[in-house]
Amino acid sequence: MIEHITLPDNVLPPVAPYSHAVRAGDFLFVTGQLSEDPITGKVIKGDIETQTHQVMENLLRVLSHVGTDFSQVVMVRIFVTDFRYYETVNQVYASYCQPQRLPSRTTVGVTALAGFGDVEIDLIVYCGQ
């Protein structure tokens, strides 16, 4: 069974036609999140640390909405517009993770992201027993 999950607009308004997440069997595929302000839906610009914290908080909103958290994440993809941000993104990202439960991960350098943010992160989450 496939379930499409979209958060209420007052939690995190979608900026394009997508589901915030899709549950397929025991797995949840979370759409890439940018540094969108959860109230206005506009991408927060500024330093990469602020942007990354906002991305992680947006991911946490999606995970909380479906009753899970970062401890169940099995795969992460991080997209950055400049690899000079790599260390800062890592530091912020790591502050949301449990060191003994780190998921697998890929980091990709890109030339641009939707909304013109500098970091986007998507997740695959295990929701089985």
Contact 24, 94 (CB under 8 A): no
Q: What is the reported pLDDT for 110?
A: 97
Q: What is the reported pLDDT for 76?
A: 98
Distance CA 67, CA 61 (A): 10
The pTM score is 0.92
Residues in the chain: 129
Its sign, for the CA torsion 94, 98, 41, 34, is positive
Write the pLDDT tens digit of every residue in 10-25.
667 667 788 889 999 9
Q: What is the reported pLDDT for 7?
A: 77
> φ, ψ for residue 56 (rounded to 5)?
-65, -40
Mean pLDDT over residues 103-129, rounded?
93
- Number of structural domains the chain divides into: 1
Q: What is the reported pLDDT for 6?
A: 79
> Which pair of structure tokens corresponds to residue 111?
């030339």
The chain-wide mean pLDDT, for the chain, equals 91
Residue 4 has pLDDT above 80, yes or no: yes
Residue 39, domain CATH: 3.30.1330.40
Distance CA 33, CA 18 (A): 12
Grouping H, G, I as helix, E, B as strand and the rest as coil, residue 63 is helix
Residue 67 has pLDDT above 70, yes or no: yes
Domain that holds residue 46: 2-126
Distance CA 9, CA 60 (A): 16
Write the pLDDT tens digit of every residue in 23-65.
999 999 999 999 998 888 889 988 999 999 999 999 999 999 9
Q: What is the reported pLDDT for 11?
A: 66
Which letter does DSSP use for residue 72 in this model?
A: G
Instruction: Say how many Å lie between the first and final Cα of the chain, rounded.
Output: 16
